[in-house]
Chain A
Amino acid sequence: MADAPVLSVQNLKTSFLVDGAWKSVVRDVSFDVMPGETVAIVGESGSGKSVTSLSIMRLLHADSSRIDGKVLLNGRDLLSLTEKEMRGVRGNEVSMIFQEPMTSLNPIFTIGRQISEVLTRHKGMSKQEARAETTRLLEKVRIPNGKARFDDYPHQFSGGMRQRVMIAMALASRPKLLIADEPTTALDVTIQGQILDLIKVLQEEEGMSVLFITHDMGVVAEIADRTIVMYRGEQVEAGATEDIFLRGRHPYTRALLSAVPKLGSMANRRWPTRFPIVDATTGEAVEPEEVADTVGKGKTPILSVKNLTTRFAVRSGLFARQTGSVHAVENLSFDLFQGETLSLVGESGCGKSTTGRSIMRLVEPTDGEIYLDGYNVLQLDQIGMRNMRKSVQMIFQDPFSSLNPRMTAGASIAEPFIKHKLGTTREAREKAADLLERVGLSASMMNRYPHEFSGGQRQRIAIARALSLDPKVIVADESVSALDVSVKAQVCNLLLDLQQSLNLAFLFISHDMAVVERMSHRVAVMYLGEIVEIGPRAAVFENPQHDYTKKLIAAVPVPDPARRGIRRGLADDELKSPVRPFGYEVPSRRYREVSAGHLVQVA
């Protein structure tokens, strides 16, 4: 390429002051971003990818960090600028968008004011000019009816729409370079699809370069011309995205890629399949095994849910009168058999978590029947409910908040066993030791506290704790969603192993279609509190019938560089809300049987 790079990073090294000593967190990172090019930095948590972007923008605290090397923006070294000069660069020549759209806008100013402020400050526009330009920008980022929303406040926008506002703000100054730090991670998958489309379109229209930071290989494959893989503060590999994906040389790159669940990889497989394990130092792959058939069909289901409905009252006004309800779960029915995994998939607000919590009776359902291992769950008194808990256990999403920080791992695992009086304290500790080994940790870790473990290890402890009562059903609520890809693959494998050895039934709640495809025997797609499609995994993924299922599957980014530049053409709409006015009549639903066990909601 004859052009000079927009951004050229040379031997970037960033260190933080930790307890009086300088600790380097990013070492020897060098790359160029050409005009109009998209470069992705990909890595797991702690790889230094975000620190790299913050170093480029010099947004790290000056007293406790040190940046060495060169960061050339159009030939000018940003590291030698004064703080004042740097302020003229940020938001002007380089713009940045962040992960959390819910907190990155100032809630007390209208979005119009926040965008036009960039224009009046950096471009010296008058108020009227800025207003006209802002309106143009809002339309450019495809905010429906953008002109009328100039005077709206951030809380009046959904997450996806706020991210559009952030992008509009970033574009306001017509930057040469846009740094996007995990811009779609906090968004639902269909919204993520829209935002990715938007970034691609805008990049073409504006001709800017994009530095895209993400942990999601699917997103990288779709958006990046070139990819930089980071691992523990170092750049392990850089190259054209196709080369990285198809001919990755570094073992870590290969390990990372093989751990990524890939939607569509399960065609022609009958049963859930383990993730291939790749050694991160040698790059040797072990072929994935299919898990044997564990489903106990023909018997009575271990969990049977009939017409489950859970609503929450919405109250407002002086006397807190009920003005409506959140129809979180509406008329839900399904069966779960011993040894089977049924996944509930859907986007935020679809009621999948509430379903799990209703079955556990962590929230009180409004109506319906739940039969679990012989218990009529909704009729149980306190004592009965406590006994019922031996049959069903739950694993939560966030391994950092699901363990009591004041209890050792051993005590956490042994506690349910002791409290249910299943044996002596000594037996409980032996059981805990056994379970720790079983989930891939060692018994000698019993006396450690949660903060001494990594996220993946904590999730293993949470699993061990759930197993301590020998339950038959486990409700796994987004249990692998917060984990890094390689850890996610390991924990998924662990769950599959446990299912095989203990004949567990999983109600696997997730928004991640690719993981669901890998893990499930059957899948139920939820939308606004209802199941819109349910059936065997192969039927739902290979022959989706409901519009929403199709949309959901189409929105998932697939880690295949051949799909680069793909446009989904998703409508720029928002997720609908399940809040209904008081007295709302729920329409009765009918289902059509597509094939054996594959039901689709019609009307």
Chain B
Amino acid sequence: MTVVETINAAPARQKSRAWRKMRANRGALVGLGIILFFAILAAAAPLLPIPDPAATDWSALRKAPSAAHWLGTDDLGRDILSRMIWGAQASLMAGVFSVAIAVFIGVPFGLVAGYFGGWVDQVISRVTEALLAMPFLITAIALAAFLGPSLTNAMIAIGLSAMPIFVRLTRGQVLAVKTEDYVEGARSVGLGHVDIMLRYILPNVFAPIIVQATLTIATAIIAEASLSFLGLGQQPPAPSWGSMLNVAKNFLSQAPWMAMWPGVAIFLVVIGFNLLGDGLRDALDPREA
């Protein structure tokens, strides 16, 4: 290979390096597998030979798992397997989209606040602190009530309530990275603010943000459940894991399977995102071998 060829092969190599590391990380692959499994299940719900998740059956109330109902039935005689599969849609979306909203709004604000400092920082930080002073769930409920009851609005409400954490986290990280010589070096070669923020600061503050995001997905799934319970999230009778869990808690002693399946599913999805997030963080960091 000549010098120039080596050089031109570089960008491709960079991407493949991250991917190669990702593939070598067993935990990340397991996480990815779990998430893909649930995502495919959720997407394929209409095609699967399962009963209508809203169809009630008064002859089969709170039945334990059996050949007819693999995962049992709930208090209205609805098939839990079917509700689990349909509910995956709402829950995954609630988790992923609301965190995406929180990250896409929170991180830029944190970046700008930390980078510029001064009055910009004062304004953003004070507002963030005011938002953080309100309990997460209360904020989400208030916002959801204001926006009107629907799954989309619930996701927006949860995203906005989770956002201040990302502002704070990003700002703190930026303050630490900003003092590194390479940032000053970037200024001294004449790079603009946008270049410095996007190429020098953001990549170096991303690791804790990824970790926080994967953790927040779990919180968001649970929060969606609470909103559903109040009639502000997924509208009944359409299912979500959270709302199933909410109903199930009234029947814990009579029908424990009603709580178990959504609980296990949420647990698995959260683990999946955590594993994937850790893998992603390591794969994107060139310092990790």
Q: List the interface of chain A (C-beta within 8 A of B).
A: 360, 362, 385-390, 393-394, 396-398, 401-408, 410-411, 415-416, 419-420, 426, 429-430, 432-433, 443-444, 446-447, 449, 451, 462, 465-466, 468-469
Chain B residues lying within 8 Å of A402, measured Cβ to Cβ, are 181-182, 185
In angstroms, how far is the closest chain A Cβ from the Cβ of B11?
9
Chain A residues lying within 8 Å of B67, measured Cβ to Cβ, are none
B185 touches A462 (CB 8 A): yes
Q: How far does the alpha carbon of A426 sit from the alpha carbon of B5 in the complex, in Å?
A: 11
Q: 5 additional contacts, CB 8 Å, given A402-B181, A408-B10, A419-B195? A: A396-B181, A401-B180, A406-B285, A406-B286, A408-B286
B10 touches A446 (CB 8 A): yes
Chain A residues lying within 8 Å of B203, measured Cβ to Cβ, are 404, 406
In angstroms, how far is the closest chain B Cβ from the Cβ of A152?
29
| Residue of A419, A430, A433 with highest tally of chain B CB at under 10 A | A419
B3 touches A420 (CB 8 A): no
B204 touches A404 (CB 8 A): yes
Stretch at the interface among B29-37, B186-194, B273-281: B186-194
Q: How far does the alpha carbon of A419 sit from the alpha carbon of B195 in the complex, in Å?
A: 9
Chain B residues lying within 8 Å of A429, measured Cβ to Cβ, are 4, 7-8, 10
Q: How far does the alpha carbon of A394 sit from the alpha carbon of B184 in the complex, in Å?
A: 10
B191 touches A419 (CB 8 A): yes
A446 touches B7 (CB 8 A): yes
Chain A residues lying within 8 Å of B285, measured Cβ to Cβ, are 406
B189 touches A465 (CB 8 A): yes
Q: Which of B4, B7, B182 contacts A403 (CB under 8 A)?
A: B182
In angstroms, how far is the closest chain A Cβ from the Cβ of B20?
14
In angstroms, how far is the closest chain B Cβ from the Cβ of A386?
4
**6 A–B contacts from the bound complex (CB under 8 Å):** A396-B184, A402-B185, A408-B14, A410-B10, A429-B8, A466-B189
Q: How far does the alpha carbon of A389 sit from the alpha carbon of B195 in the complex, in Å?
A: 16
| Residue of B6, B8, B9, B13 with highest tally of chain A CB at under 10 A | B6
B189 touches A419 (CB 8 A): yes
B97: CB under 8 A from chain A?
no
Q: How far does the alpha carbon of A443 sit from the alpha carbon of B184 in the complex, in Å?
A: 26
A451 touches B3 (CB 8 A): no
In the complex, residue of chain A having the shortest beta-carbon distance to the beta carbon of B196: A404
In angstroms, how far is the closest chain B Cβ from the Cβ of A601?
30
The answer to whether residues A398 and B286 also contact, given A404-B186, A433-B7, A444-B6 and a CB cut-off of 8 A, is: no
B287: CB under 8 A from chain A?
yes
In the complex, residue of chain B having the shortest beta-carbon distance to the beta carbon of A417: B189
| Residue of B14, B186, B189 with highest tally of chain A CB at under 10 A | B189
B189 touches A389 (CB 8 A): yes
A447 touches B195 (CB 8 A): no
In angstroms, how far is the closest chain A Cβ from the Cβ of B189?
4
In angstroms, how far is the closest chain B Cβ from the Cβ of A278?
31
Q: Which of A396, A451, A468 contacts B185 (CB under 8 A)?
A: A396
B26: CB under 8 A from chain A?
no
Q: Which of A405, A406, A430 contacts B7 (CB under 8 A)?
A: A430
Q: How far does the alpha carbon of A446 sit from the alpha carbon of B14 in the complex, in Å?
A: 12
A444 touches B3 (CB 8 A): yes
Q: List the interface of chain B (C-beta within 8 A of A).
A: 3-4, 6-10, 13-14, 180-182, 184-192, 195, 199-200, 203-204, 285-287
A416 touches B190 (CB 8 A): yes
Q: Which of A388, A398, A446, A468 contacts B181 (CB under 8 A)?
A: A398
Chain B residues lying within 8 Å of A420, measured Cβ to Cβ, are 190
Q: How far does the alpha carbon of A426 sit from the alpha carbon of B7 in the complex, in Å?
A: 9
In the complex, residue of chain B having the shortest beta-carbon distance to the beta carbon of A392: B188
Pairs of residues from A and B, 8 with the lowest C-beta to C-beta distance, nearest first: A389-B190, A449-B286, A402-B181, A416-B189, A406-B203, A386-B190, A396-B181, A429-B7
In the complex, residue of chain B having the shortest beta-carbon distance to the beta carbon of A451: B287
In the complex, residue of chain A having the shortest beta-carbon distance to the beta carbon of B202: A406
A419 touches B185 (CB 8 A): no
Q: How far does the alpha carbon of A25 sit from the alpha carbon of B3 in the complex, in Å?
A: 37
Q: How far does the alpha carbon of A388 sit from the alpha carbon of B182 in the complex, in Å?
A: 19
In angstroms, how far is the closest chain B Cβ from the Cβ of A397?
7
Q: How far does the alpha carbon of A433 sit from the alpha carbon of B189 in the complex, in Å?
A: 19
In angstroms, how far is the closest chain A Cβ from the Cβ of B266?
34
Q: How far does the alpha carbon of A443 sit from the alpha carbon of B186 in the complex, in Å?
A: 22
In angstroms, how far is the closest chain A Cβ from the Cβ of B54?
49
A389 touches B8 (CB 8 A): no
Q: Which of A362, A446, A451, A469 contacts B187 (CB under 8 A)?
A: A362
A449 touches B287 (CB 8 A): yes
B182 touches A401 (CB 8 A): yes
Q: Which of A401, A407, A408 contacts B199 (CB under 8 A)?
A: A407
B286 touches A405 (CB 8 A): yes
| Residue of B4, B10, B182 with highest tally of chain A CB at under 10 A | B182
Chain B residues lying within 8 Å of A393, measured Cβ to Cβ, are 188-189
Chain A residues lying within 8 Å of B200, measured Cβ to Cβ, are 404
In angstroms, how far is the closest chain B Cβ from the Cβ of A425?
9
Chain B residues lying within 8 Å of A385, measured Cβ to Cβ, are 190
Chain A residues lying within 8 Å of B9, measured Cβ to Cβ, are 447
In angstroms, how far is the closest chain A Cβ from the Cβ of B287?
5
Q: How far does the alpha carbon of A384 sit from the alpha carbon of B185 in the complex, in Å?
A: 18
Chain B residues lying within 8 Å of A406, measured Cβ to Cβ, are 203-204, 285-286
A401 touches B181 (CB 8 A): yes
A443 touches B189 (CB 8 A): no
Q: Which of B185, B286, B287 contacts A394 (CB under 8 A)?
A: B185
Q: How far does the alpha carbon of A385 sit from the alpha carbon of B189 in the complex, in Å?
A: 10
Chain A residues lying within 8 Å of B204, measured Cβ to Cβ, are 404-406
Chain B residues lying within 8 Å of A396, measured Cβ to Cβ, are 181, 184-185
In angstroms, how far is the closest chain B Cβ from the Cβ of A415?
7
Q: How far does the alpha carbon of A465 sit from the alpha carbon of B200 in the complex, in Å?
A: 15
Chain B residues lying within 8 Å of A462, measured Cβ to Cβ, are 185
The answer to whether residues A404 and B199 also contact, given A396-B181, A433-B3, A444-B6 and a CB cut-off of 8 A, is: yes
A447 touches B10 (CB 8 A): yes
Q: How far does the alpha carbon of A411 sit from the alpha carbon of B203 in the complex, in Å?
A: 14
Chain A residues lying within 8 Å of B187, measured Cβ to Cβ, are 362
A430 touches B4 (CB 8 A): yes
B184 touches A362 (CB 8 A): yes
| Residue of B180, B186, B195 with highest tally of chain A CB at under 10 A | B180
In angstroms, how far is the closest chain B Cβ from the Cβ of A482?
11
In the complex, residue of chain A having the shortest beta-carbon distance to the beta carbon of B183: A404
In the complex, residue of chain B having the shortest beta-carbon distance to the beta carbon of A406: B203
In angstroms, how far is the closest chain B Cβ from the Cβ of A131?
42
